[in-house]
Amino acid sequence: MAIQVLDEATIGKIAAGEVIERPASVVKELVENALDASARSIVVEIAAGGRECIRVRDDGLGISAADLPLAIERHATSKLRRFEDLASLRTFGFRGEALASIAAVSDLEIISRPPDAVHGVRLRSVFGRRTALEPVAAAPGTVVTVRDLFANVPARRSFLRQESTETAYIQRVVGACALAHPEVRFELVVDGRTVLATDGSGSLENVLVGVFGAEAAAQMVPIQPTDDLGDQARPLRLEVHGCVGLPTLTRSNRLGMLFFVNRRWIESRPLGVAVEQAYHTLIMVGRYPVAVIHLELPPGSVDVNVHPTKREVRFSDERAVFNAVQAAVRRTLAQHVPAQSVPSVS
């Protein structure tokens, strides 16, 4: 067959598949955009597991009328100018790909108003085709509404799980963002019902109750800081903080373990193993702990540009990170459960 360059719509759909796997990926990208825009309040509303509708409303910096059409262009970003800037980047976004990808596979509407603008602007793009760009009355901030996700990619749509499963993924994403940002108010509304709410006061306790529920939050204890324990000089500048559930608090799956690197939520099987091993003999086989683990380390010793969704990161010293997490969890458990039941170093 002759070689041909793909048309833009096809390129868009293929690229979208890399970033947008399921409704929860849309939620994650939109919430991270809101955080990048310095929002203090973020409200996520979903209908039918996110298939029918996902709406994220923020009170952040907004997008100017001139920039709004650019926001859904591929590789258009306000956050990165040169590749060299990557190492010092403080924002979640930098590829300028998320909104373009979402636009390619949904009926998308963005209404945005920077606080100093006298009115907002509304943009609508229906499966990759822009259909509206017009002034509207709007509160300062941005509201992004995504409807009929993947309706033009039947293979992807049929691959989605049942509504309750997609909702659980979304809840985990919003929970993770709330845990990483106690100073931002979060609310998740599922089919008209608020299922998660934090007050943005900066209190971690408030976030734990909002995300895990009062009963679970009461069984979680803060990780003992290393500094308080007079550890000898560590070669890697690495801080572990957060909180872990007592062995009485368990789950039937690993979804209760959340990891953050410099406030960025990551997925890491090795770190999951590190935590599970720390609970070894304390928790029944087939049950999993609840843990919120924050790692702070120099940006230079972690590579976030490994995977398009940025969910997996690479550490310059994997072993040191694994050990530090495991030691921190063990140390914390040792303070709260009878000494003889905490396993020693494996």
Interacting residue ranges for Mg ion, rule: CB under 5 A: 33, 93, 98
Site for ligand ADP in 78-97 (CB under 6 A): 78-79, 93-97
Residue 323 interacts with which of Mg ion, ligand ADP, none, CB < 5 to 8 Å by class: none
Spatial separation of the C-alpha atoms in residues 294 and 286, rounded to whole Å: 25
Nearer to ligand ADP, 21 or 163 (CB): 21
Per CB under 6 A, does 173 bind ligand ADP?
no
Identify the bridge partners of residue 54 per DSSP, sorted by sequence position: 46, 146
Shortest Cβ 226–ligand ADP spacing (Å): 34
Per CB under 6 A, does 106 bind ligand ADP?
no
For residue 227, the one-letter residue type is: D
Site for ligand ADP in 43-62 (CB under 6 A): 58, 60-62
Shortest Cβ 139–ligand ADP spacing (Å): 13
Per CB under 6 A, does 98 bind ligand ADP?
yes
Contact, 219 vs 228, CB < 8 A? no
Nearer to Mg ion, 63 or 249 (CB): 63
In the complex, which residue's CB is closest to ligand ADP? 93
Shortest Cβ 176–ligand ADP spacing (Å): 17
DSSP state of 334: H
Query: Which runs of consecutive H residues, i.e. helices, occur in 153-195?
Result: 154-159, 163-180
Residue 63 interacts with which of Mg ion, ligand ADP, none, CB < 5 to 8 Å by class: ligand ADP
Contact, 73 vs 100, CB < 8 A? yes
Residue ranges of E strands in the chain: 41-47, 53-58, 107-113, 120-126, 129-136, 141-147, 185-190, 193-197, 220-222, 239-245, 250-251, 257-261, 264-266, 288-289, 291-296, 302-303, 314-315
Q: Which residues, other chains included, contact 345 with Cβ-Cβ below 8 Å and sequence gap of 6+?
A: 330
Nearer to ligand ADP, 45 or 58 (CB): 58
Per CB under 6 A, does 143 bind ligand ADP?
no
| Contacting residues toward ligand ADP, per CB under 6 A | 29, 33-34, 37, 58, 60-63, 71, 77-79, 93-100, 142
